[in-house]
Amino acid sequence: MATNGTLTSTDYIKHHLDPLQIGEGFWAINLDSLGISILLGIFFIWIFSSVAKKATTGVPGKLQTFIEMVFGFVDTTVKDSFHAKSKLIAPLALTIFVWVVLMNTMKLIPVDFLPVIAGTLGMWFAADKAGGFVAENSTFVERAMDHPWSYIKAAPTTDLNTTVALALGVFILIIYYSVKHKGLGGFIKELTLSPFNHWLLIPFNLVLELVGLIAKPLSLSLRLFGNMYAGELIFILIAMIGLWQLPLHFPWAVFHILIILLQAFIFMMLSIVYLSMASEKHE
């Protein structure tokens, strides 16, 4: 709770964990996660298409070289992990990897940076106040942080809605590839007659296979969300130190680069493996 017009530690943490949201209940929309995800997706498409249009067979520039390295890495991973034939998997894997890396990288922005900017814009264009924690003699930054627009999270992957949406997209493709390569009858047979090929055990097989099927999107979404959310909490706790946060923020940010890349790779890799399993025909 706020006391004497001052932002307490609990208020500060809750402020950074609450999304910029409209609506209520199930139909609520997290504008920060949705907006930043779309902007990063547009940036990804723009930068890759621009480099593709300007690509040269001669000595490539640094940006072209970097993108070619990323493309080669993803292409090799797909060839090693996906054993069926599909023109969709490589572009999908590239999109997943780069998009998740971009969303994860937003965590490296200082936690107060975007909220202060959004709150400042809110004070300029929408003078309404949250009526929260600031006193009349508060600083400009405190007033900006008190505005409703300042409730903004920089990294969309710290929002469970974002990671679940990504995982559901992969899950739909798993169902599609299962039916495409095995047929509807083959897919139903796999759910009902595996691992025990006897009609008496169909209920047991169905429960077992459905649990395994549903566990795939759950594991994808919760793993990415859990790692990003935990890292965000540490960044927030470091930011609470104040001016002395830089000696701690920098090494944690450097270490977190590894987590950012690793979690994007794991999400991409598991998506490829799940789609490869869905494309395999079992006799």
User: SS3 letters for the chain?
Assistant: CCECCECCHHHHHHHHHCCCEECCHHHCEEHHHHHHHHHHHHHHHHHHHHHHHCCCCCCCCHHHHHHHHHHHHHHHHHHHHCCCCCCCHHHHHHHHHHHHHHHHHHHHCCCCHHHHHHHHHHHHHCCCCCCCCCCCCCCHHHHHHHCHHHCCCCCHHHCHHHHHHHHHHHHHHHHHHHHHHHHHHHHHHHHHCCCCCCHHHHHHHHHHHHHHHHHHHHHHHHHHHHHHHHHHHHHHHHHCCCHHHHHHHHHHHHHHHHHHHHHHHHHHHHHHHHHHHHHCCCC
Q: Which of 219, 221, 276, 279 is catalytic?
A: 219
143: annotated active-site residue: no
Q: Which of 223, 271, 276, 279 is catalytic?
A: 223
Q: Which of 104, 227, 271, 279 is catalytic?
A: 227
219: annotated active-site residue: yes
Catalytic positions are: 219, 223, 227
